[in-house]
Structure 1
Amino acid sequence: MNSLKRIFVTLKAQLDDVADDFENHEAVAGVAIKELEAFQGKTRLHQHRLQEMIQQFETKRVDLNKQAEIWTSRAVKIKDQDEAKALECVKRLLQVQKQMKTIEPELAKAKAQFDQCQRDLADIQAQLHASYTQKEVLSARQNRIQLHTSLRAEHVNPSTGAQAIFKRWEQSVIGAELTSPVATIKDSFADEFVQEESTLELKMLLDELTTQTPSE
């Protein structure tokens, strides 16, 4: 009995380990999905900031282009009238052009990062969709395995268990029917005929006896 008990405890522990392992896999998968969703949110936030930065760069570039046109126009306009002022206008133009050269690579970098975020978001969305599907499928398969394992471990099957209950009930009823005395149903009408027939037989027997015995 002790050996059987030890075997049962060992098997139960192994089954518990399997169940824990299943649960850990599901929990870890859930955490991974949560982290992926958080990364998706951070990527969207970063993309939004890049969009704002791109708009600022483009607005600044338009403004610098207008300033360059203004200083160019001023330099040409006053060249013959005041060369010193014209040279100052050219100096301002060069400063504007220098700013434009600084903005252009930053704008291109921001646009490249924005496009990369767009691709990253598409990849993350695809991974999330696949992860949701895999988690649901594996969870269903896991639950089915745990159910079958539990039924095998406990030797319990609900479908056959119900049949066994009704079978035992039926056998109990049959046994009670066989051991219970059968109640006699009294029929007074039939009893009356039986009584008359019995009396008639007695009279016939009396007449026969009277005929056989001579009178004194």
Structure 2
Amino acid sequence: MSIFKRLTATFSSRVDQMVSQIENHDAVVEVAIKESRQATAKAKVRLARVQRDGELLKNKISQLRSDEILWTNRAREMAHKDEEKALECVRRRKLCQQQLGQYEQALKKHEGLEQRLAQDIHAAERKLAEMNQQRNLMRTRQSAAEALNSISGVDESVALDVAEAFERWEIKVTESELEVGTVDSMDMLEREFLKTEDKHALQAELQELLAEEKEVGHD
């Protein structure tokens, strides 16, 4: 192998490796399915044409059999009237027989070809259905795998940010709770003072009432 061929082979190998690494498997399969579908459609058109040709052969054979019977009857009819015409009828009868043999042989080969083509189309359709089913299955598996990957593949920094956000949130809530607690403490202290002041006021008022009672008693 020449240096140029070796370099070409090496380059081609590397390109194939690169393509295999970056290829879109779904797209590759889709192209294969499309080509298979087109090939199957062409084969069906070809089969339809073969079947039409087969019908033409059958019609021709049927016509030749009718012609053979016709020339046979004519030869018998002319045998006692006109020998030359009778001989011509026999000659044409033999010609019909020869053509009949050729067409029957052609029809036999044609039917074999039609049968093989129909079997190939059936196999192609079955393979195409399998490819479609396998593609749909792989798409489902890929979607599931991507969904799981998106869930389990969360970036650590993102997870850390979320954790810090929860921590800051908890601190804020705790501060709010402490503020509420302080206000409650202040309210309790104020209530205590108010209670004491109210008690003193009531005691003073009571003393006034007692003093008034004493004054009334002295009078």
Please indicate, yes or no, whether the TM-score normalized by the shorter chain is above 0.5. yes
Q: Secondary structure at the match of 2:81?
A: coil
Q: Secondary structure at the match of 1:95?
A: helix
Aligned to 2:170: 171
Name which of structure 1's ranges 59-68 and 144-153 shifts more when overlaid on structure 2. 144-153
Deviation at 1:172, TM superposition (A): 4.5
Deviation at 1:143, TM superposition (A): 3.5
The answer as to whether partners of 1:72 and 1:89 remain within 8 angstroms in 2 is yes
The answer as to whether partners of 1:22 and 1:142 remain within 8 angstroms in 2 is no
User: Which ranges in structure 2 are unaligned for 5 or more consecutive residues?
Assistant: 1-16, 208-219
From 183, 197, 200, the counterpart of 2:199: 197
Q: Distance in 2 between matches of 1:192 and 1:152?
A: 61
User: CA 1:41–1:50 in structure 2 vs 1: closer, same or farther (change >3 Å)?
Assistant: same
Q: Distance in 2 between matches of 1:94 and 1:37?
A: 49
Deviation at 1:117, TM superposition (A): 1.7
Aligned to 2:44: 44
Q: Distance in 2 between matches of 1:175 and 1:189?
A: 25
User: CA 1:165–1:101 in structure 2 vs 1: closer, same or farther (change >3 Å)?
Assistant: farther
Name which of structure 1's ranges 110-119 and 164-173 shifts more when overlaid on structure 2. 164-173
Q: What are the within-5 Å matches in structure 2 for residues 34-113 of structure 1?
A: 34-113=34-113
Name which of structure 1's ranges 138-147 and 67-76 shifts more when overlaid on structure 2. 138-147
Q: Distance in 2 between matches of 1:27 and 1:92?
A: 64
For these two proteins, the number of residue pairs brought into alignment is 185
Deviation at 1:52, TM superposition (A): 0.7
Superposition CA RMSD, Å: 3.8
- CA deviation string 1:7-46 (max 9, x = no partner): xxxxxxxxxx99x947522111111111111111011111
Q: What are the within-5 Å matches in structure 2 for residues 132-151 of structure 1?
A: 132-148=132-148
Q: Secondary structure at the match of 1:102?
A: helix
Q: Secondary structure at the match of 1:85?
A: helix
User: CA 1:87–1:135 in structure 2 vs 1: closer, same or farther (change >3 Å)?
Assistant: same
Aligned to 1:120: 120
Q: Distance in 2 between matches of 1:51 and 1:115?
A: 10
Higher relative contact order (CA 8 A, sep 6+): 1
In structure 2, what residue type is equivalent to 1:171?
E
Q: Distance in 1 between matches of 2:196 and 2:133?
A: 86
User: Which ranges in structure 1 are unaligned for 5 or more consecutive residues?
Assistant: 1-16, 205-216
Aligned to 1:13: none
- CA deviation string 1:142-179 (max 9, x = no partner): 33444555666652699x79x85883474144244156
Q: Distance in 2 between matches of 1:22 and 1:168?
A: 42
In structure 2, what residue type is equivalent to 1:98?
Q
TM-score for both structures, normalised by structure 1: 0.69
Deviation at 1:140, TM superposition (A): 2.6
Q: Distance in 1 between matches of 2:94 and 2:157?
A: 89
Q: Distance in 1 between matches of 2:80 and 2:150?
A: 100
Name which of structure 1's ranges 44-53 and 191-200 shifts more when overlaid on structure 2. 191-200
Q: Distance in 1 between matches of 2:157 and 2:191?
A: 57
Q: Distance in 1 between matches of 2:25 and 2:99?
A: 55
Q: Secondary structure at the match of 1:81?
A: coil
Identity across matched positions, percent: 22
Q: Distance in 2 between matches of 1:153 and 1:196?
A: 67
- CA deviation string 1:67-120 (max 9, x = no partner): 000001111111121110001101111221122122112211221111112211
